[in-house]
Structure 1
Amino acid sequence: MTSSLLLAVLASGFIYGITPGPGVLAVFGIGAARGRRAGAGFLCGHLLGDVVWCSTALIAIVGAREIGSSAFDVLGVLSGLYLFWLGMRAIRSRRSSGDAPQGAARQPFWHGIMFGLTNPKAYPVAVATFTALLSSRAELLQWSMLPWLIFLSFLGGVLAYAILIGIVGARRVRTLYQRHELAITRICGVMFIGFAINALLHAVPGLLANKS
């Protein structure tokens, strides 16, 4: 496994874990209501869901690569379009007052497990994020690497959650996040569009070459 592939998998797990979404919003709500320890418990439980969905996504990505370059390129195009759609939604998002995070969960750890495993957006976002960042190194992916890919994505997620745990209990950070939540979401939308363009730039030429 090359150093560039290693860093790409670590970055994928980190970005998947730290970008604003239902889980990040929930942990900030729990941290605001019950403090850093409750937020850490929620994230530790949520990490199980991340491992399941990231592992499933990596299996699909490696499987598509082993089937053939065309299958991986199709997956790359679909992932790129999905990330572009997510990015545009984030850029156009508006502050909502109806979906308050469940900060009053009595058992944050078990709440995090259920939250992580039942999030319907987890799998497609994981597939799209990993495909976008790994598309330039697709030729290196093999089944024998799968355990290491899963482990590295797990490490990336742990690093992301360590940062979140460190800041969730800080009043100034929490206030800053809540005040600028919309701007942060839109910045992440721009980042998703960048990943989408990266995925499409690597996938579309491969499909056109196979057709010709």
Structure 2
Amino acid sequence: MHAHTLLTFIPVALLLAFAPGPDNLGVLALGVSRGRRESLGFAIGCAAGCLNHTLLAALGISALIAASPLAFHMLQYSGAAYLTWMGIQALRSRGVSLNRPQPTGTDNGFKPYFRRGLIANAINPKVALFFLAFLPQFVVPGAWPAPLQILVLGLVFAVCSTLCFALIAIGANRIGAWLRGRERFALWLDRITGGLFIALGLKLAFSDLR
């Protein structure tokens, strides 16, 4: 691969990572409503999910899924259902308050939200189609084998996404920390977050992606 290819790819990847979408909107909402660990976990999970789509694109599996209406719609509705489930979980929450200790045994913390971010990204067909269309544009003919170039580009994109999502999570947490310190705001933050995830799930379910 040529150095100028990466120098062109990285700014585009950073710009796309910051562009409003389900991943960074979810990171933003969780940073405000839940806290830094949860939002960072979700952020890094979403970025790690990019590696899944990179591998599928490199192996040609994403193309097969896109060519199969049944497989594509199954993935689409699974992703929509998972986002909606996350929204319902947030709606059922009692809210995170800095003045009230969290009950033991809850699924708060980095790992549970890393897992949620990973799954939410990995089963989103819109991301699969994006990687299938986006990464090959930066493949240089006659350089490394195309699948290997796609893997490298996907890894770089995942790193860029991690940096962007982490900045969003940290910034949102600072705003959320002030709001969560006020009892009456704490519950509504989760309600808003839940509504956002449900809206994203419904949008994915009823989107005509084909």
TM-score, structure 2 normalization: 0.51
What whole-Å deviation, never above 9, does each CA across 1:98-129 have from its counterpart, x for those lacking one? x8973838431221121111112111122333
Residue of structure 1 aligned with 2:132, choices 127, 135, 156: 127
The within-5 A match list for 1:59-208 is 102=87, 104=90, 106=107, 107-131=112-136, 134=138, 138-139=140-141, 141-143=143-145, 145-171=149-175
Secondary structure of the residue that 2:125 maps to in structure 1? coil
Q: Does 1:25 align with 2:29?
A: no
Structure 2 CA distance for aligned equivalents of residues 17 and 37 of structure 1: 20
Structure 2 CA distance for aligned equivalents of residues 22 and 162 of structure 1: 15
Tell me, yes or no, if the aligned pair for 1:58 and 1:130 is still in contact at 8 Å: no
Q: Across the two proteins, how many residue pairs are aligned to each other?
A: 134
Tell me, yes or no, if the aligned pair for 1:12 and 1:153 is still in contact at 8 Å: no
Tell me, yes or no, if the aligned pair for 1:13 and 1:157 is still in contact at 8 Å: yes
- Aligned Cα RMSD in Å? 3.4
Tell me, yes or no, if the aligned pair for 2:14 and 2:160 is still in contact at 8 Å: yes
Mark the CA change 1:11 to 1:131 in structure 2 (over 3 Å): closer, same or farther. farther
Residue 45 of structure 2 corresponds to 45
Structure 2 CA distance for aligned equivalents of residues 147 and 9 of structure 1: 13
Tell me, yes or no, if the aligned pair for 1:13 and 1:155 is still in contact at 8 Å: no
Mark the CA change 1:26 to 1:145 in structure 2 (over 3 Å): closer, same or farther. closer
Tell me, yes or no, if the aligned pair for 2:13 and 2:160 is still in contact at 8 Å: yes
Structure 2 CA distance for aligned equivalents of residues 164 and 109 of structure 1: 15
**Amino acid in the other structure paired with 2:17:** G
Q: Percent identical across equivalent pairs?
A: 22
Flag structure 2 segments of 5+ consecutive residues without an equivalent: 64-83, 94-106, 180-191, 193-210
Flag structure 1 segments of 5+ consecutive residues without an equivalent: 65-98, 179-212
Tell me, yes or no, if the aligned pair for 1:12 and 1:129 is still in contact at 8 Å: no
Residue 2 of structure 2 corresponds to 2
Structure 2 CA distance for aligned equivalents of residues 33 and 11 of structure 1: 30
